[in-house]
């Protein structure tokens, strides 16, 4: 028995050796164009990662998977939602597989962790989901083009809306305690307070927190609204517990776009009705272009489209259209990057999309309200702000003089 096993291990070692060697000598043939996709496919964020992958696959299937006579090959890797693993997997995609473009990523921390590497390797990279502000603001990355959004982008119009249209005056914020949460909440605070409102309390909860019982009793009685920035299981539990602790009748509930995104909305119940959120997408956008995506997508993926799947659907299209524009010559990286930065698409599901000189999209921002339509919950668009830049109405140079939104920036008003 022992002996046989030692042969087995020897064989395994030899096999490892071969793969190592073949990896080392793989010739760089110029035929297919390789797209490297990375996102969490296992672990707590697996489903968002799979939504993303499905969006990309769906687009490639529709498109036919060919550009200028070259086949498109999609190589996907699992990041386990850990930045260090993401970095290792991206190294593999670039150095072993030789991908021509990287696309993917979920967590803000991963976004910052990858930046030095992709800039160092000069790999054209799309961030369709990862939204940390500074990637397109104060720490701009040369090789990253963002087709998604910057975290505070949808919050800027929303702050004004909450004051002027919803008539709220005092708001408590509760959000995941990391860059994404700070930036979504910070952008909201800035415009809400400039409009005349006041953030009376900011509660930060651990990322991924599920039980909100310790936090709900702290919410100030003095406020008329609560702004929550959560996602995944946390969003689901929060909305439910908010009602159970008797707070739903007392406050208007608002949130960042992910709080009621379609990746959790189907699991919610009536407790979610009436929540206002803002994002650059809603599966319920009532346009022909969007329906052309959402209806067949549901058939393809067996579930409703979410902002994550739209992000990669559009991101995939963004990459392919840029490839087409340069005749498939993706080896010319500078030319490819330029094409990625300079194109405009007017007919993507979320609305018209172009990239600013800072590398961030200029796109519509939608204020959405959760409603039940035909028995299903959806994010009904109640107001559209067209062509919003990450700087909103501010002058970019002036805006960039303020620090990036953080836990205590903007500071609490006295």
Partner 1 sequence: MEFWIIQSLNGLSFGALLFLLASGLSLIFGVMNIVNVAHGSYFMIGGYLGYSVFLRTGSFVIACLAAAVAVAMIGIAMHFFLLRRYSTHFPQVLMTMGFALIFRDLTLVIWGGDPLSLATPAVLQGSFHIGPITYPIYRSFVILIAIAVAIGLWAFNEKTSLGAKLRATVDDNQMATGIGINVPMVSSLMFGLGAFLAGFGGVVGAPILGIFAGIDFDILPLAFVVVIVGGMGSLKGAAVGSILVGVVDTLGKALVPDLSYFTLFLPMAIVLAIKPTGLFGRA
Partner 2 sequence: MARAANFKNKALLFIGVSVLLVLAAQVLSTYWLSILTLVLIFGILAMSLDILMGYTGLPSFGHSAFFGVAAYTVAILSTRYGVGFWGCVGGAFLLSTAVAAIFGLLVAHTKGVYFLMITLALSMVVWGLAFRWVGMTSGDNGISGIPRPDLGEAVSMGDDVNFYYFVLAVYIAVFLLIYLFLRSPFGQSLKGIRESESRMKNLGYNTWLHKYLSYVVAGMFSGISGILWAYYNGFVSPSDVEITASFEAFLMVILGGPGTLVGPALGAGIIIFLQNFLSAFTERWLIVIGTIYILTILYLPHGIMALNIRGLKFNKTKTLSNDQTSGGTS
Binding site for partner 2 (CB under 8 A): 1-2, 5-6, 9, 16, 19-20, 23-24, 26, 41-42, 75, 77-78, 82-84, 87-89, 91-92, 95-96, 108-109, 112-113, 115-117, 176-179, 204, 206-207, 407
d(CA 315, CA 313) in angstroms, rounded, equals 5
Whether the bond between 176 and the residue before it is cis, its omega within 30 degrees of 0, is: no
Residue 149's binding partner out of partner 2, partner 1, none, with CB under 5 to 8 Å set by partner kind: none
Residue 29's binding partner out of partner 2, partner 1, none, with CB under 5 to 8 Å set by partner kind: none
- Span interacting with partner 1, options 116-124, 145-153, 187-195, 199-207, rule CB under 8 A: 199-207
Provide the terminal-to-terminal Cα distance of the chain, rounded to the nearest Å: 76
Q: Is 204 in the site for partner 1 (CB under 8 A)?
A: yes
d(CA 204, CA 326) in angstroms, rounded, equals 46
d(CA 44, CA 372) in angstroms, rounded, equals 28
- Span interacting with partner 1, options 24-32, 205-213, 292-300, 377-385, rule CB under 8 A: 205-213
- Span interacting with partner 1, options 15-23, 148-156, 239-247, 314-322, rule CB under 8 A: 239-247
Number of alpha carbons in the 13 Å side-chain half-sphere of residue 288: 2
Question: Phi and psi at residue 409, in whole multiples of 5°?
Answer: -130, 130
Residue 60's binding partner out of partner 1, partner 2, none, with CB under 5 to 8 Å set by partner kind: none
Note whether 74 and 57 are within 8 A (CB): yes
Q: Which is nearer to partner 2, 116 or 386 (CB)?
A: 116
Could you say which of 64, 69, 120, 214 contacts partner 1 (CB under 8 A)? 214
Could you tell me the smallest distance in angstroms from the CB atom of residue 172 to partner 2? 19
Q: Is 202 in the site for partner 1 (CB under 8 A)?
A: no
Q: Which is nearer to partner 2, 177 or 371 (CB)?
A: 177
Pairs from 338-346 (Cβ < 8 Å, separation ≥ 24) = 340/124, 340/126, 340/145, 341/145, 343/318, 345/314, 345/317, 345/318, 345/321
Site for partner 1 in 62-91 (CB under 8 A): none
Using CA atoms in the order 133, 137, 140, 145, what is the torsion angle rounded to 10 degrees?
Answer: 60
Q: Which is nearer to partner 1, 64 or 246 (CB)?
A: 246
Question: Phi and psi at residue 211, in whole multiples of 5°?
Answer: -100, 115
Could you tell me the smallest distance in angstroms from the CB atom of residue 41 to partner 2? 6
The string over 255-293, giving b where at least 16 C-beta atoms fall within 10 Å of a residue's C-beta and e elsewhere, is bbbbbbbbbbbeebeebbeebbbbbbbbbbbeeeebeeb
Note whether 89 and 40 are within 8 A (CB): no
Residue 87's binding partner out of partner 2, partner 1, none, with CB under 5 to 8 Å set by partner kind: partner 2
Furthest C-alpha separation in the chain: 79
SS3 content of the chain, % helix, strand, coil (to 5): 40, 25, 35
Q: Which is nearer to partner 1, 82 or 354 (CB)?
A: 82
Residue 116's binding partner out of partner 2, partner 1, none, with CB under 5 to 8 Å set by partner kind: partner 2
Residue 78's binding partner out of partner 1, partner 2, none, with CB under 5 to 8 Å set by partner kind: partner 2
Could you tell me the smallest distance in angstroms from the CB atom of residue 258 to partner 1? 12
Q: Which is nearer to partner 1, 227 or 318 (CB)?
A: 227
Q: Is 406 in the site for partner 1 (CB under 8 A)?
A: no
Binding interface with partner 1 (CB under 8 A): 42-50, 177, 204-206, 208, 210-211, 213-215, 217-218, 232-233, 235-237, 240-241, 244-246, 263-264, 266-269
């Amino acid at each position: 028995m022992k002996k046989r096993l030692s042969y087995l291990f020897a064989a395994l070692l030899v096999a490892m050796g071969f793969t190592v060697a073949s990896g080392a000598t793989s010739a760089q043939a110029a035929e297919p164009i390789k797209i490297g996709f990375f996102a969490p496919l296992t672990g707590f964020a697996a489903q968002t990662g799979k939504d993303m992958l499905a969006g990309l696959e769906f687009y490639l299937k529709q498109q036919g998977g060919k550009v200028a006579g070259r086949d498109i090959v999609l190589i996907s890797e699992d990041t386990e939602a850990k930045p260090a693993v993401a970095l290792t997997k991206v190294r593999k995609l670039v150095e072993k597989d030789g991908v021509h473009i990287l696309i993917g990523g979920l967590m803000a921390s991963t976004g910052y962790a990858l930046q030095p590497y992709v800039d160092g390797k000069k790999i054209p990279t799309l961030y369709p989901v990862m939204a940390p502000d500074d990637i397109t603001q104060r720490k701009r990355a040369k090789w990253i083009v963002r087709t998604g959004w910057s975290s505070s982008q949808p919050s800027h119009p929303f702050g004004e809306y909450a004051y002027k249209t919803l008539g709220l005056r005092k708001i408590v914020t509760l959000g995941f305690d990391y860059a994404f949460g700070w930036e979504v909440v910070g952008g909201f605070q800035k415009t809400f307070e400039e409009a005349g409102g006041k953030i009376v309390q900011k509660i930060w909860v651990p990322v991924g927190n599920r039980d909100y019982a310790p936090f709900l009793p702290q919410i100030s009685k003095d406020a008329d609204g609560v702004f929550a920035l959560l996602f995944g299981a946390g969003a689901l539990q929060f909305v439910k517990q908010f009602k159970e602790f008797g707070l739903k009748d007392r406050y208007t509930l608002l949130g960042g776009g992910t709080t009621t995104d379609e990746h959790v909305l189907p699991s919610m119940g009536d407790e979610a009705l009436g929540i206002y959120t803002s994002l650059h997408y809603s599966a319920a956008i009532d346009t022909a272009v969007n329906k052309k995506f959402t209806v067949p997508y549901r058939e393809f993926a067996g579930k409703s489209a979410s902002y994550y799947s739209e992000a990669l659907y559009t991101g995939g299209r963004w990459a392919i259209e840029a490839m087409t524009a340069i005749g498939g010559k993706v080896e010319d990286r500078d030319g490819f990057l330029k094409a990625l930065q300079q194109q405009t698409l007017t007919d993507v599901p979320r609305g018209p999309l172009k990239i600013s000189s800072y590398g961030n999209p200029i796109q519509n921002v939608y204020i959405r309200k959760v409603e039940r339509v035909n028995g299903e919950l959806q994010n009904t668009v109640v107001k559209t702000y067209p062509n919003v830049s990450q700087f909103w109405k501010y002058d970019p140079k002036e805006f960039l003089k303020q620090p990036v939104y953080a836990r205590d920036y903007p500071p609490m008003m006295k």
